[in-house]
Chains A and B, each alone.
Chain A
């Protein structure tokens, strides 16, 4: 049983969708179940994800709406020589389920050093309440990642011990990687607004 099947079976109330692409599992998860599922992923011996490699966020505000963000390739890139082609190439394409098309998606990448497997977890986050649970109680590496996501996207992490800006200065207003942050807006600390 692969990881996506396992999680679907274990947490049917939280898992919105799963996807497998060339051996990599992706789970789309309700944000209410994040902490519970994450704890399971860390503590369950078959998962044993002891390493949170990356935590980031995606702003889907202009996704597939502006010409620059429209997908350019429909067919996936050719397989490397050491991989066998899949029988069903349609299964490789992933589309966001219509009911979960929120503005933000917080993305977690887990890795298990003992099992040598990986998992991508995505949590759709509403624009009106951009708030998810903090994973700092489980993985210490979540601390700075979550501060960065808060700084750049304005997603609040409930339970974070020190949620303040990490890259921008504290006088900075707004979140610069949001797609509606004006690309020409400048907020210098000293000197002219250039």
Chain B
């Protein structure tokens, strides 16, 4: 039996979770939670020059109930922290969180009474994109890392525990 031209086949076999993972990674409906200057870089990434639509993430939903990925873009203050938590809780499973910019990763250069020192103290985070602000290439790199994670069906969202100083 010779080689089979798969283009002529009218069926395709795969594992179900692999197929779902492949489909999910190209239909990222994101919720941009934009609070600060990183938002400009987020817009640059989303616009046609860098074109986040190539990765299937071109349609931001402005309701957390319709979205899969929470993009936290910009500094989060303690006053805003309960709001962010509520937005995260409103999202349906499966859901992922991207910390966009160094303020959301660690608090950045803010160390004061007002700022949350990294959103992973409040909600679990899947991908960290550091930078102040991160370049669009950096963002796309983070997005591809997220896609790899979604494709594998990994759910390694972790919270930072300040008592033990590790991810739990």
Contact status A187-B113, CB under 8 Å:
yes
Is B79 interfacial (CB-CB < 8 Å)?
yes
Q: What CA separation (Å) do A192 and B114 show in the bound complex?
A: 14
Tell me the B40-83 residues at the A interface (CB within 8 Å). Answer: 78-79, 81-82
- Which A residues are in CB contact (< 8 Å) with B118? 194
Q: What CA separation (Å) do A183 and B111 show in the bound complex?
A: 9
Q: Which of A186, A189, A190, A192 contacts B113 (CB 8 A)?
A: A186
Q: Which chain B residue shows the least CB distance to A181?
A: B113
Is A185 interfacial (CB-CB < 8 Å)?
yes
Q: Which chain A residue shows the least CB distance to B118?
A: A194
Mask of A164-177 contacts with B, CB within 8 angstroms, 1/0: 00011100000010
Contact status B162-A192, CB under 8 Å:
yes
- Which B residues are in CB contact (< 8 Å) with A186? 78, 113
Contact status B162-A188, CB under 8 Å:
no
Q: What CA separation (Å) do A167 and B80 show in the bound complex?
A: 11
Q: Which of A181, A183, A188 contacts B78 (CB 8 A)?
A: A188
**Contacts A186-B113, A187-B113; A192 near B121 (Cβ below 8 A):** yes
> Could you tell me how many residues of chain A have their Cβ less than 8 Å away from some Cβ of chain B?
16
Contact status B81-A188, CB under 8 Å:
yes
Contact status A190-B163, CB under 8 Å:
no
Contact status B163-A187, CB under 8 Å:
no
Is B117 interfacial (CB-CB < 8 Å)?
yes
Tell me the A70-96 residues at the B interface (CB within 8 Å). Answer: none
- How far, in Å, is A144 (CB) from chain B's closest CB? 16
Contact status B81-A189, CB under 8 Å:
yes
Is B91 interfacial (CB-CB < 8 Å)?
no
Q: What CA separation (Å) do A185 and B107 show in the bound complex?
A: 15
Q: Which of A168, A183, A190, A193 contacts B81 (CB 8 A)?
A: A190
Is B116 interfacial (CB-CB < 8 Å)?
yes
Q: Which chain A residue shows the least CB distance to B121?
A: A191
Is B122 interfacial (CB-CB < 8 Å)?
yes
Q: Which chain B residue shows the least CB distance to A165?
A: B79
Contact status A191-B113, CB under 8 Å:
no
Among B79, B113, B162, chain A packs the most CB atoms within 10 A around the CB of B113
Q: What CA separation (Å) do A193 and B82 show in the bound complex?
A: 14
Q: What CA separation (Å) do A183 and B115 show in the bound complex?
A: 13
- Which A residues are in CB contact (< 8 Å) with B121? 191-192, 194
Among A169, A181, A191, chain B packs the most CB atoms within 10 A around the CB of A191
- Which B residues are in CB contact (< 8 Å) with A168? 79, 114
Q: Which chain B residue shows the least CB distance to A168?
A: B79
Mask of B153-167 contacts with A, CB within 8 angstroms, 1/0: 000000001110000
Is B85 interfacial (CB-CB < 8 Å)?
yes
Q: Which of A169, A183, A185, A190 contacts B122 (CB 8 A)?
A: A190
Q: What CA separation (Å) do A189 and B76 show in the bound complex?
A: 12
Contact status B116-A191, CB under 8 Å:
yes
Q: List 8 A-B contacts (CB under 8 A).
A: A176-B112, A176-B114, A185-B113, A188-B116, A189-B82, A191-B81, A193-B162, A194-B118
**Given A189-B81, A189-B82, 4 more contacts at CB 8 Å?**
A169-B78, A189-B79, A190-B122, A193-B162
